[in-house]
Amino acid sequence: MAPFSLPADAAFPAGKAAILPAPLPTPSHGAGGSFSIACSTRINAPPSKCLDIVRSPADYPSWNPFCRLVEIDSQPPSTTSSPDQFHLGTVFTFDVHFNTSPDSKPSTKSQERVSILEDIVDPTSKKVIGHRIGWIQIGPQPDWMLKCERIQEFIEVEGPDGKVTTEYRNWETFYGLLAVVVKLAAGEGVRKGFEGWMGGLKRKAEGGN
């Protein structure tokens, strides 16, 4: 897969999640989506720490109100270490909560496969400036009806005190004939879930509960 680069002028809502007026491309599915949900925030922690949190599904109940339970279904044959973490090709299942209140029950389950896990490299300096992880939904419908890919980026930026912090960008793009139905039926639930995910990750990475 060729290195993926999102256009620099793409609009990521700061500190909140929103359904974007124009869909964003994803590494596996490219352009031509029906709609995207996206958010961004600054996290006072290095990108590597943020990525480690997202790659450690056993800890999701401690910080993630949107996807509180994650079960790893299979690991790629090449995995020789850290079988409890996400790797490229890991298949896993989320319990998804569109209602992010603490006592809510799961709204649905979603099986996913890690589709991308790579460093983000500055094209000019060739230095690693961050990390990217993404996953695609596996079924249950054929791709021409509905497919989606979720991408999270952790980009190194210098904080006001000179310390390394992270610009966090998160988006999911939905494709196919049923995408408009998903937008109407569950778009607002996913949007609120993204905000809960983003806020929980920020608190966890910055040392809070």
Q: What is the pLDDT of residues 125-152, one digit of tens each?
A: 889 999 999 999 998 899 999 999 999 9
* Average pLDDT of the residues in 119-125: 90
pLDDT band at 1 (very low <50, low <70, confident <90, very high): very low
Distance CA 52, CA 54 (A): 6
CATH fold of the domain at 30-205: Alpha-D-Glucose-1,6-Bisphosphate; Chain A, domain 4 (3.30.530)
Given this model, what pLDDT does residue 140 score? 87
Given this model, what pLDDT does residue 79 score? 80
Strand, helix or coil at 179?
helix
Nearest to 146, CA basis, from 174, 171, 173: 174
pLDDT band at 7 (very low <50, low <70, confident <90, very high): low
**Which residues touch 34 (CB under 8 Å, ≥6 apart)?**
23, 173, 174, 175, 176, 179, 180, 183
Q: Quick check: 208 pLDDT over 80? A: no
pLDDT tens digits for 152-183? 999 999 877 888 999 999 999 999 999 999 99
Given this model, what pLDDT does residue 2 score? 47
pLDDT tens digits for 73-118? 999 998 878 999 999 999 999 999 988 888 888 888 999 999 999 9
Given this model, what pLDDT does residue 42 score? 95
Q: Could you state, in order of their start, the residue ranges of all structural domains in the chain? A: 30-205
Q: Is the entire prediction scored with pTM above 0.75?
A: yes
- Token code pair at residue 36: 């995207």
Strand, helix or coil at 198?
helix
